[in-house]
A and B are shown apart, each in its own frame.
Chain A
Amino acid sequence: MAKIPVSMVVNGAEVGPVEVDEYTSMLDFLQEYLNLTGTKLGCGIGVCRSCTIVVEGQDGALQPIRSCINNVGRFHGTKVTTIEGQAERNSDGALLKLSPVQQAFLRNYSFQCGWCTAGFVNGATALIDRLRREPVSANDVEQVIEEALGDHICRCTGYVRYFRAVREVIESTPGLLKEVE
């Protein structure tokens, strides 16, 4: 089995270079090598999106990427955020503040069994980042959420609360909506 050296920044911390089997999925790498178990395996074939993590592209834009169907080599040299990296922490790792998306999810009780929640939070985080650069009109919010998160599957069928939480963040964050002319 061929080994490849990978190094990346995960939740703000340098990882590697470390030698791993080139066919290691990113999900396995996070769970087995970094002990970050918040990213969940759902279907394993890229359909349910519970394993979604966030990657910062070369242009600085955040992209939601499915970690089960992408091998670790894809993430070499990138900045990755998992659910563990969403909240603000101090240098000792103690929690300072949840992200706005996490707070909205808590407020709206947007989880039930919780398996898909990390994927929803990461997907929503990438959406909020996109709206900062490309604001939409208030009338389009529902459609934008549907496009960004409609493919995420929640077997407890908690979609209404997920979507409500994301809508709340979008509507309460300055700069995400176009001014009415």
Chain B
Amino acid sequence: MSRLILVVLCILCVDIAAAQTPIDKGRYLATAADCVACHTAVNGRPMTGGRPFHTPFGKLYSTNITPDKKTGIGNYTLEDFTASMRRGMGIHGNLYPAMPYTSYYRISDADIAALYAYFMQLPAVEYVAPENDLIFPANLRFGLKAWNWVFFDRQPLQQEAGKSPDWQRGNYLVNALGHCGECHTPRNFAYALKREAPLAGNVLEGWDAVDIRPQALRRQGWDRASLRTLFRTGVSEQGAAFGEMFSVVKHSLRHLSDSDLDAMITYLLDDDETASGTVAQTTGDPQAAAEQHPQGRADYVAYCAACHGREGTGITLAFAPPMHRNAGVRGENPYNTIAVVLRGLPVQRMSRTNARAGMPSFAKELNNARIAGVVNFMRTAWGASGTAVTEDQIAKIREDLREHGFLGEHQ
């Protein structure tokens, strides 16, 4: 009997070992790094590139990272691959830092090797992305050498002493593989990350990639359970992921192992701070909100309440998130609340059987004063976030969105 158990155990061990081949590991790591989101065009084949990125310097397209020898990375050795991942040095010249090598330089050798093994066994697809359309001098690739010299600050990953292994794994996932800072860290005039304010929030492509430092997350009402729900499903009682973050949940976060997801949450919420309980939760006052912003309340009732609920509690979470306890409404920065009202949201399909309805754009229907009224009503009723938004603020955001082409229905 004991021999039989031993045989079964051996078979199981062989199976587990087989499941941990470099290719499988690389596939998992590529999922954690969300390579597919950037390297796939709308209706394009995965990893063949061609997705446009709108930067202040013009339009940039992602490249083909299938192992096609002519148009992809088929001729890359492991050393070439490492150079592109760590230093932004492709075999045909410098890569633009839209490729997040400014985060990937922290990825371990073993993980780079596994990623290489995974990419090199993908089906090779011949495809050339459209030419970049960048203004001078950003269109001069050799200038990126100077950019790297000035702005590519290769600090090693700061693994603080005394932090748990879970926190340290989370740090690696957030700041290296997951490259969260590429969206959530503010950038300077040269579009380089401001290293002094990591994860402090940044507006790009017409959305605010919010402040995700522990204090800000807690002020917005996030805790372990709600973050886990958001990362698994794209929606939680604290609000829904939209824009690029929805894509991150869809292609990357929801596929991570429980332990890795927990590690990321441990890092993001910084468990040590939880213990000290430094951040007070904010709650609003619907009665005061109705008195202070009567037109805002009337518009909320007319335009928003049928989906987001009379008392702001939503109708059903699968359809539209509540405004009460909503992180966006609670956030210090009202940008996303305003931008959602102006832009609306497209239908978001997580899978064939799981989708959420879109939200109409109210840019045409509501003027700046009325949008300010609705936003102020919601922030006073359910956010208690302090400063009121002004008509001028709405006008400025409306103009920015219009100028960059984000102000049509679901742009």
Q: Closest residue of chain B to A2, judged by CB?
A: B301
B364 interface residue per 8 A CB criterion: yes
Q: Closest residue of chain B to A4, judged by CB?
A: B298
In angstroms, Cα B357 to Cα A22, docked, is 24
Q: Closest residue of chain B to A64, judged by CB?
A: B360
Main secondary structure of the interface of A (DSSP, over half): loop
- Contact partners of B358 in chain A: CB under 8 A: 151
Interface size on A, residues (CB 8 A): 19
Stretch of A7-15, A33-41, A69-77, A99-107 with 4 or more beta carbons under 8 angstroms from chain B:
A69-77
In angstroms, Cα B303 to Cα A69, docked, is 8
Min distance, Cβ B87 to any Cβ of chain A, angstroms: 43
Question: Quick check: A22 and B306 within 8 Å, CB to CB?
Answer: no
Question: Quick check: A71 and B306 within 8 Å, CB to CB?
Answer: yes
- Contact partners of A57 in chain B: CB under 8 A: 364-365
Contacts A23-B310, A45-B319 given; does A73 touch B302 at CB 8 Å:
yes
Question: Quick check: B307 and A45 within 8 Å, CB to CB?
Answer: yes
B315 interface residue per 8 A CB criterion: yes
Min distance, Cβ A148 to any Cβ of chain B, angstroms: 10
- Contact partners of B12 in chain A: CB under 8 A: none
B73 interface residue per 8 A CB criterion: no
- Contact partners of A68 in chain B: CB under 8 A: 306
A108 interface residue per 8 A CB criterion: no
Question: Quick check: A45 and B302 within 8 Å, CB to CB?
Answer: no
Question: Quick check: B307 and A22 within 8 Å, CB to CB?
Answer: no
Min distance, Cβ A12 to any Cβ of chain B, angstroms: 22
Q: Which residues of chain B from 352 to 371 have a CB within 8 Å of any chain A CB?
A: 357-358, 360, 364-365
B288 interface residue per 8 A CB criterion: no
Per a CB cutoff under 8 Å, which of A63, A70, A151 touches B306?
A70
Contacts A23-B301, A47-B357, A57-B364 given; does A151 touch B347 at CB 8 Å:
yes
Question: Quick check: A45 and B301 within 8 Å, CB to CB?
Answer: no
Question: Quick check: B302 and A71 within 8 Å, CB to CB?
Answer: yes
In angstroms, Cα B360 to Cα A63, docked, is 12
Min distance, Cβ A72 to any Cβ of chain B, angstroms: 7
Question: Quick check: A74 and B303 within 8 Å, CB to CB?
Answer: yes
B305 interface residue per 8 A CB criterion: yes
Min distance, Cβ B17 to any Cβ of chain A, angstroms: 47
In angstroms, Cα B307 to Cα A107, docked, is 37
Per-position 1/0 for A60-99, Cβ under 8 A of B: 0001001011111110100000000000000000000000
In angstroms, Cα B364 to Cα A57, docked, is 9
In angstroms, Cα B318 to Cα A45, docked, is 11
Which of A23, A69, A72 has the largest count of B CB atoms less than 10 A from its CB? A69
Min distance, Cβ A128 to any Cβ of chain B, angstroms: 18
A interface vs B, CB < 8 Å? 4, 22-23, 25, 45-47, 57, 63, 66, 68-74, 76, 151
With A23-B301, A23-B305 known, 10 other A-B pairs at CB within 8 A are: A4-B298, A23-B310, A45-B307, A57-B364, A57-B365, A66-B360, A69-B306, A70-B303, A70-B306, A151-B358
B interface vs A, CB < 8 Å? 298-299, 301-303, 305-307, 310, 315, 319-320, 347, 357-358, 360, 364-365
